[in-house]
Amino acid sequence: MTTIDDARTHEAFDMAKKCVTLYGVICAITLATVAALSIIDHTVTTFMWVRAVILLAIAPALHRQIVGASQGARRCYERMRTVTVVMPIAIIGVDLIPGICPTWYAVMQAIGALPLVAVAFLLNGSGSRAAFPASR
């Protein structure tokens, strides 16, 4: 375990935790929107339901990982560095498949991915990288 003592590093992890929380909030809003549209008889596909539920379900796991990283757990830090780069690409990439989902849904998913992009930048910045020097 590494100690996160530097003020700049501490700030980066605090912001990353806020971004992960924002990701969860946006995922919850997306799922609520799908539910509301379903209730008022708009077309909502199984893909939209499943995707919204899965992405929301991932949010607590991401939060646990970023908290672990902020407390100095190298494995959590490395996982989050990878996940926050791969997930937004996967989310947006799938939404770009023609006909898979309506434009409004793809936009909501892309907005939800933005906080993860911010986390990727924060975790790959010098502030947080300084807390986890490369292994020798």
State the DSSP H helix or E strand holding residue 132, giving kind and residue range, or none if neither: none
Q: Tell whether 132 is covered by a domain.
A: no
* DSSP classification of residue 100: S
Distance CA 22, CA 116 (A): 9
Q: Tell whether 2 is covered by a domain.
A: no
Which residue type does 62 have?
A: L
Sign of CA dihedral 101, 105, 110, 112: negative
Q: Tell whether 135 is covered by a domain.
A: no
What is the span of the domain harbouring residue 61? 7-127
Q: Tell whether 1 is covered by a domain.
A: no
pLDDT tens per residue, range 91-124: 999 999 999 999 999 999 999 999 999 999 999 8
Q: Tell whether 62 is covered by a domain.
A: yes
Stated pTM of the model: 0.90
How many domains does the structure of the chain reveal?
Answer: 1
pLDDT tens per residue, range 43-100: 899 999 999 999 999 999 999 999 999 998 999 999 999 999 999 999 999 999 999 9
What's the longest Cα–Cα distance across the chain?
59
Burial of 63 (0-12, 13-18, 19+ CB in 10 A): middle
